[in-house]
Amino acid sequence: MNRNLKLLIVDDSAFIRKILTNIFSADEDFIKIDTAQNGKSALELVAKNDYDVITLDVEMPILNGIETLKKIMEMKKTPVVMLSSLTTEGADITLDALEYGAVDFIAKPQNIFTVQGERLANEIKDKVKAVARVNVMSYMRHQNATLDRITSNEVETKKQTPFQKTASGDIVKKIIAIGTSTGGPRALHEVIPSIKGNINAPVLIVQHMPKGFTKSLAERLDSFSSLSVKEAEDGELLKNGVAYVAPGGLQMKITSVDKDKFKINLENSAPVNGHKPSVDAMMESVSQSKVDEVVAVIMTGMGGDGANGLAKLKDVKRAVTIAEDESTCVVFGMPKVAIQTGKVDKVLPLREISREINKIMGV
Rounded to the nearest angstrom, the gap between the alpha carbon of residue 149 and the centroid of all alpha carbons in its chain is 19
Residues in the chain: 363
From the list 290, 329, 313, the residue with the least C-alpha distance to 177 is 313
Q: Give kind and range of the element (H or E) at residue 214.
A: helix 213-224
Residue 221: what residue type? L
DSSP letters spanning 94-150:
HHHHHHTT--EEEEPPSSGGGGGSHHHHHHHHHHHHHHHT--HHHHHHHHHHHHHHH
CA distance 175 to 3: 43
CB 291 within 8 A of CB 172: yes
Out of 208, 275, 285, 325, the active site residue is 208
Residue 33: what residue type? I
Q: Is 305 a catalytic residue?
A: yes
CA distance 41 to 47: 10
CA distance 241 to 198: 6
CA distance 54 to 35: 10
End-to-end CA distance of the chain: 43
Out of 181, 194, 216, 225, the active site residue is 181
Out of 57, 170, 305, 325, the active site residue is 305
CA distance 104 to 97: 9
CA distance 319 to 310: 9
CB 54 within 8 A of CB 80: yes
Q: Is 142 a catalytic residue?
A: no
Residue 345: strand, helix, or coil? coil
Neighbouring residues of 154: CB distance < 8 A, sequence distance ≥ 6: none
Active site residues: 181, 208, 305
